[in-house]
């Protein structure tokens, strides 16, 4: 038995020596360079690629099964060069491979150049021609078997040991003549330590990327990445720790100074679960510092989880450092302290930041932020916001002074008053896709304090809807809805609004620089218009309004005094008709208004004034800035007898005042009594008086008395005294 075992040992030893001898003979006697033509032919037949081996081929058999090659080129037939390799080297330890282990020396790839080109006709050098496609199709089953074999081999291997991987001075060149775009990835250097499962190894990568548009630089990026990598096979787990990614970005907007971006994080990737996890995340972009952690679950659902926070930063400084225009604000401190934190949710296509806390200088917001179906979704509720601090500073140049009568040169022309300048860039708003909900306890805007401010906006596909705009201001409540349709050549406006108990006096003083009117306004409006300038909107204004004003005062004119003077003037009692600036109080005023092409018309204006009631009709022509109103006053009580006494018989009669003029015409000059109507009314009163005194002889008496104007005047004087 011992002799038999000895015989087997001798046999296998001899067999091993024979294999070694064969390997030595193959590697030492057979020169692989003699078979370059056959190798190149095989590459063309099997892969449809033209392989040119211009350098030396080398190989080894035992104990390392390896190959080295220098100066090779790959290309599809009749196409520019695709791949050029200065040198490549790979070797596998044969005894380990027989034990189903993959043990490699350093994998070296040097001076790799990958060139991708596309012509103006759309042809490229990385796609096969019809002939090569036929060759590839005929061998598809073989390549499929190779893939299956590779997958099977990957499942069998349970040990991996690579001494190092080194890629030196690689570059990728891309040029698209069709679009005019090009890119260069240069200086690509990758180096690793020893790669073995369950052991950490160091990875270092440096490269630079340049992007061009029509040969003009768009972006230049330099990257330096170091990390510790660990691969676990059961279960499969990839861990990257001590990640340090340094990026320096240069664009035409930033100028020659690069924008620094620094990223540090610990990464775990579990392909079988699947899950991607980032812990201890720290990202610095210029003066912005982000930190937190996030996780991505499921490759199909791509669910996001985690937390992110931004330390306080100056937004103006950030925009300036990344090459964007920094806004000029009325307050130099605006946007100087911005920070936020929130919880990640949603998925990669629709990320959300929930439980968001945003600090904008002195304002604290709570809400949520997200991207849904390509649109921006923002919901914020805050305490106090001074919006004036974030608006552009007011123009320091003084406005030209105008007199109450429209200035020395007369009224402002309508074409000057209504600007034709565009209100907003239509194309920018047409692409707007957002949903915004904003609520504030207090908003300061243009020096005014708005309480309980609320705004809801939806915008998509050229349609902007403000479904909620509400506030409390000037002791009243305001609520509006707006629809702006930008899908046609001219923007279409549809506005509905409600105003309740708004104090008109301070509103007109603040925004119209006029104190001629006070009162509490209640208003319901439905307005349509089209255009993108004040001029276009005014000229296309249509709709209706219902107005009611209570506890009002019209300053600058005393309607009762004006009415009295009209009567006195008609009677030629010598009273100076020039109106003394006074005021006209009224308990209530209201009416309905129809708007057509910018002209506001009313037929049912009513008001209860002191000692009088008022009705009115007429129009306000906004395009022409003209007013034409007929006001009918009915004296209900003679409360002004001491200053201007009239006969009690006039009480109950409607006495008209005509208000005609320009917007800049003072009220005292605009509104005058209709003397013709006064005369007619007084004649009727005279006739009644005469009938009372003379009975049926009135015609005879009148014909005798009115032969002259003086006689008529004396008769009227006698009747009313």
| Tens digits of residue pLDDT in 526-539 | 999 999 999 999 99
pLDDT number for residue 720: 42
Check residues 17 and 447 and name the one with the higher pLDDT: 447
pLDDT confidence of residue 578: 45
Number of Cα atoms under 13 Å in the Cβ half of residue 395: 4
Looking at residue 261, what is its pLDDT? 94
Q: What is the pLDDT of residue 554?
A: 73
Mean per-residue pLDDT of the chain: 80
Percent of residues, the chain, with pLDDT higher than 90: 40
Instruction: Determine phi and psi for 577, rounding to 5 degrees.
Output: -80, -5
Residue 72: Cβ within 10 Å count: 20
Average pLDDT estimate for 592-620: 89
Q: Using pLDDT thresholds of 50, 70 and 90, give the confidence band for residue 64.
A: low
| Axis-axis angle for helices 36-47, 130-138 (nearest 10) | 90
Task: Count how many residues are written for the chain.
Answer: 721
Highest averaged pLDDT of the listed ranges 368-377, 426-435, 540-549, 629-638: 540-549
User: Taking 50 as the threshold, does the pLDDT of residue 344 lie above it?
Assistant: yes
pLDDT on residue 154: 43
- The phi, psi pair for 561, rounded to 5°, reads -65, -40
Domain range annotation of the chain:
684-721
Angle between helices 130-138 and 140-156 (to 10 degrees): 60
- pLDDT at 140 > cutoff 50: no
Q: What percent of the chain has pLDDT over 70?
A: 72
Comparing 170 with 231, the larger pLDDT belongs to 170
Tell me what pLDDT residue 299 has.
Answer: 73
Distances in Å between the alpha carbon of 124 and those of 83, 184, 676?
A: 14, 17, 92
pLDDT score of 631 more than 90: no
Residue 606, classed as helix, strand or coil, is strand
Alpha helices, H only, 465-546: 504-511, 534-539
pLDDT(262) > 80: yes
Confidence of residue 28 (pLDDT cuts 50, 70, 90): low
**pLDDT at residue 721, as a whole number:** 44
How far apart CA 319 and CA 313 sit, in angstroms, is 11
Q: What is the pLDDT of residue 650?
A: 60
Residue bearing the bigger pLDDT, 47 or 167: 167
**pLDDT digits over 569-582, tens only?**
655 444 444 444 46
Please tell me the predicted confidence (pLDDT) of residue 488.
87
Query: How far is it, in rounded angstroms, from Cα 14 to Cα 240?
Result: 48
- Nearest CA among 350, 273, 572, 330 for reference residue 446: 330
- In this prediction, residue 278 has a pLDDT band, given cuts at 50, 70 and 90, of very high
Residue 362 confidence (pLDDT) above 50:
yes
**Residue 20: its pLDDT value, please?**
52
- At 405 the pLDDT is 41
**Cis amide bond preceding 614, omega within 30:** no
Residue 244 near residue 264, CB atoms below 8 Å: yes
Q: Of the candidates 321, 305, 310, 320, which has an alpha carbon nearest to the alpha carbon of residue 283?
A: 310
Per the model's pLDDT, the better-predicted residue between 454 and 583 turns out to be 454
* Residue 489 pLDDT level (bands cut at 50, 70, 90): confident
Residue pair 535/419 in contact by the 8 Å Cβ criterion: yes
- pTM equals 0.71
Q: Is the pLDDT of residue 8 over 70?
A: no
Q: How confident is the model at residue 226 (pLDDT cuts 50, 70, 90)?
A: very high
Residue 5 has pLDDT above 70, yes or no: no
Q: pLDDT tens, 143-193? A: 444 344 334 434 444 567 888 899 999 999 999 998 999 999 999 999 999
C-alpha 208, offset from chain centre: 32
Which of 238-252, 416-430, 633-647 is predicted most confidently?
238-252
| DSSP per residue, 246-306 | EEEEE-TTTTTSPEEEEEEEEEEEETTTTEEEEEEEEEEETTEEEEEEEEEE-TTT-EEEE
Residue 441: its pLDDT value, please?
95
Least reliable range by pLDDT among 128-142, 213-227, 257-271, 631-645: 128-142
Contact (Cβ atoms closer than 8 angstroms) between residue 386 and residue 453: no
Cα angle 499-501-504, degrees, rounded to a multiple of 5:
90
Most confident of 11-15, 112-116, 267-271, 321-325: 112-116
When pLDDT is averaged across residues 87-101 and rounded to a whole number, the result is 74
Overall average pLDDT of the 49-67 stretch: 77
Name which of 141-145, 700-704, 711-715 the model is least confident about.
Answer: 141-145
More confident residue, 299 or 209: 209
| pLDDT for the residue 529 | 96
Task: Note the pLDDT of residue 563.
Answer: 62
The per-residue pLDDT for 507 is 81
């Amino acid at each position: 038995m011992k002799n038999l075992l000895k015989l087997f040992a001798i046999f296998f030893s001899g067999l091993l020596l024979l294999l070694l001898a064969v390997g030595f003979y193959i590697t030492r006697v057979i020169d692989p360079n003699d078979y370059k033509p056959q190798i190149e032919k095989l590459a063309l037949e099997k892969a449809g690629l033209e392989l040119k081996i211009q350098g030396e081929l080398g190989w080894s058999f035992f104990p390392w099964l390896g190959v080295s090659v220098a100066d090779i080129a790959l290309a599809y037939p009749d196409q520019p060069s695709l791949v050029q390799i200065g040198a490549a080297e790979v070797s596998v330890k044969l005894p380990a491979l027989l034990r189903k282990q993959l043990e490699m020396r350093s994998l070296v790839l040097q001076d790799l150049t990958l060139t991708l080109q596309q012509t103006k006709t759309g042809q490229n050098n990385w796609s096969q021609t019809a002939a090569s496609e036929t060759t590839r199709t005929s061998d598809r089953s073989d390549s499929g078997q190779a893939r299956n074999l590779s997958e099977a081999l990957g499942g069998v291997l349970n040990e991996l040991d690579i001494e190092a991987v080194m890629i030196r001075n690689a570059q990728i060149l891309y040029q698209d003549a069709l679009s005019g775009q090009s890119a260069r990835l240069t200086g690509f250097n990758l180096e690793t330590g020893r790669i073995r499962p369950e052991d950490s190894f160091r990875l270092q990568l440096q490269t630079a990327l340049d992007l061009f548009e029509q040969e003009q630089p768009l972006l230049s990026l330099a990257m330096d990445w170091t990390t510790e990598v660990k691969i676990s096979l059961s279960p499969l787990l990839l861990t990257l720790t001590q990640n340090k990614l340094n990026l320096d970005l240069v664009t035409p907007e930033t100028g020659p100074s690069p924008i620094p971006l620094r990223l540090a994080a610990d990464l775990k990737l579990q392909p079988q679960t699947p899950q991607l996890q980032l812990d201890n995340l720290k990202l610095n972009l210029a003066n912005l510092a982000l930190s937190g952690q996030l996780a991505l679950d499921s490759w199909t659902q791509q669910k996001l989880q985690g937390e992110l926070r931004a330390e306080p930063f100056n937004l103006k400084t950030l925009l300036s450092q990344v090459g964007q225009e920094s806004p000029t604000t009325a307050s130099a401190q605006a946007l100087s302290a911005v920070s936020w934190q929130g919880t990640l949710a949603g998925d990669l296509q629709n990320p959300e930041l929930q439980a968001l806390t945003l600090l904008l200088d002195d304002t604290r917001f709570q809400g949520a932020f997200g991207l849904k179906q390509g649109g921006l979704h923002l919901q914020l509720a805050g305490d106090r916001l001074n919006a004036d601090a974030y608006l552009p500073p007011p123009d320091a140049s003084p406005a030209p002074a105008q007199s109450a009568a429209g200035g020395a040169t007369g009224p402002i022309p309508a074409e000057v008053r209504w600007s034709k300048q565009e209100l907003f860039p239509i194309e920018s708003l047409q692409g707007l896709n957002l949903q915004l909900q904003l609520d504030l306890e207090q908003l300061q805007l243009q020096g005014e304090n708005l309480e309980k401010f609320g705004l809801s906006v939806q915008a998509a596909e050229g349609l902007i809807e403000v479904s909620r705009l509400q506030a409390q201001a000037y002791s009243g409540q305001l609520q509006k809805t707006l629809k702006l349709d930008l899908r046609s050549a001219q923007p279409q406006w549809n506005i509905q609004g409600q105003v309740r108990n708004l104090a008109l006096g301070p509103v007109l003083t603040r925004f119209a620089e006029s104190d001629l009117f006070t009162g509490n306004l209640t208003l319901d409006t439905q307005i349509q218009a089209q255009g993108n300038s004040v001029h276009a909107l005014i000229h296309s204004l249509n709709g209706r309004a219902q107005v009611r004003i209570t506890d009002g005062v019209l300053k600058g004119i005393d309607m009762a005094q004006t009415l009295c003077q009209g009567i006195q003037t008609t009677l030629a009692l010598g009273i100076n008709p020039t109106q003394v600036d006074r005021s006209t109080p009224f308990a209530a005023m209201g009416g309905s208004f129809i708007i057509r092409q910018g002209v506001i018309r009313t037929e049912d204006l009513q008001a209860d004034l002191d000692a009088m009631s008022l009705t009115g009709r007429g129009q306000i022509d906004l395009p022409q800035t003209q007013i034409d109103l007929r006001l009918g006053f009915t004296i209900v009580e003679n409360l002004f007898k001491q200053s201007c006494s009239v006969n009690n018989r006039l009480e109950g009669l409607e006495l008209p005042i005509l208000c005609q003029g320009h917007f800049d015409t003072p009220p005292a000059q605009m509104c005058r009594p209709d003397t013709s109507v006064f005369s007619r009314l007084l004649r009727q009163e005279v006739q009644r008086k005469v009938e009372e005194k003379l009975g049926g002889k009135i015609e005879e008496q009148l014909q005798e008395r009115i032969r002259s104007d003086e006689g008529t005047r004396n008769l009227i004087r006698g009747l009313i005294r």
